[in-house]
Amino acid sequence: MRSKREKNIVGLDLGSHSIKAVELKTKKGKGHLPEFELKGMGYEILPHDAIVEGTVIDTMAVAETIKLVLDENKISKKNVIISISGNSVIIKKIALPSMETEELAESIVWEAKHNIPYPYEETNVDYAILRPTEHMDEKNLDILLVAAKKEKISNYSNAISQARKNLVAVDVDVFALQNAYEVNYNEQYSTRTVAIINIGANITNLVVIEKGHPQLFRDITIGGAIFAENISKELAVEYDDAEKLLKGIPVENIRADQYQYILDMNIQNLIDEIDKTLSFFETGDADKKKIETIYLSGGLSRLNGLTGIVEQKFQVQTELFNPFRRISYNENKFDSIYFDEMAPLFGVVTGLAIRTADKF
């Protein structure tokens, strides 16, 4: 997974609502991080129910959409990287005594078997040794253990193969977000504590990064599709009309106050789950563990007023995440207005494309 480096790959975000692609060109930077230039990007809506709750249901439809998003945007590279999230992905931080590499590998297997709620043989397991924090005992290793069900990876791999592309790496959504944050907000990466909340169609990814160190990860099973389904049910409208309402488009015979009441309830459900996670992080050490900025990413992050609602609830500066903040692009090739409107949707996929210089 993310502990290995890959070259010449295209980031591909296979979401339940859409497929996004990003291709970057790496340039030698002035500091310790490389600089990036955008070579290609694309966004295509998937047919409804082609991917449901992270599972590919219509492999052909997904494969055709992959080919469309890449061909339409002249992205020709064969090698792609994807990311996964949800219940079939387990992320755990564990501490082990310092030991030799061979001994550590054996210990990781033992830890995986005891920390993963699936048979070990049915999972792909990887790990990364985290950089030590100022409070860490030097005698111990802080390790990030990641496990994903092989069935989940195979499910995506089949669609990519049908699209005639090569799946060369699999990452995790929250790690991709961290990559995008480090490159685009490097001036504060090692000094501030932030939360990135990526609100997708079915899952909201949340990662807390404390002064450059990932501290807390959670996938919340609430997203834009859940909002739309609830609105459709409560207001007795078609799903497509519910999506229009979420985009701020009026729907015949639906009053604004009717819609707002249902929307507010759904927002509150999401806020409650976010609150549980952030409170868990800050509990017991509030002075040292204070989140200073919240970044919102994903399709639902553009929901009118959501940034202000989150900021008011948590009394923390909240803004939309910009995964192209430090990535250059040809203004004659890419429309800057498109970036302003669509940037928050590309957090995960840009982090995947950045993987070519992944140093973790």
Q: What is d(CA 67, CA 75) in angstroms, rounded to the nearest whole number?
A: 10
> Do residues 80 and 170 touch, judged by C-beta distance below 8 A?
no
Q: Can you name the residues that pair with 35 across neighbouring β-strands?
A: 27
Residue 335's CB is within 10 A of a number of other CB atoms, namely 12
User: What pLDDT is recorded for position 53?
Assistant: 82
Residues of the chain where predicted confidence (pLDDT) is lower than 70: 1-8, 29-33, 131-138, 284-288, 356-360
Integer Cα distance of 176 and 351 in angstroms: 4
Instruction: Please give the helix or strand (H or E) that residue 43 lies within, else none.
Output: strand 35-45
**pTM of the full structure:** 0.91
Please state, in angstroms and rounded to a whole number, the distance separating the CA atoms of residues 206 and 69. Answer: 27
Identify the pLDDT of residue 20.
Answer: 97
The predicted pLDDT at position 358 comes to 43
Quick one: tokens of 254? 């639906």
Domains, the chain: 10-357 (3.30.420.40)
What pLDDT was estimated at residue 347? 97
14/156 Cα distance (integer angstroms):
8
Report residue 5: phi and psi, to 5°. -100, 145
| CA 237 – CA 254 distance, rounded (Å) | 9
Q: How far is CA 328 from CA 41, 184, 309, 334, in A?
A: 13, 11, 31, 11
Q: Quote the CA–CA distance of 85 and 220 in Å, as a whole number.
A: 10
Please tell me the distance from the alpha carbon of residue 180 to that of residue 298, in angstroms, as a whole number: 13
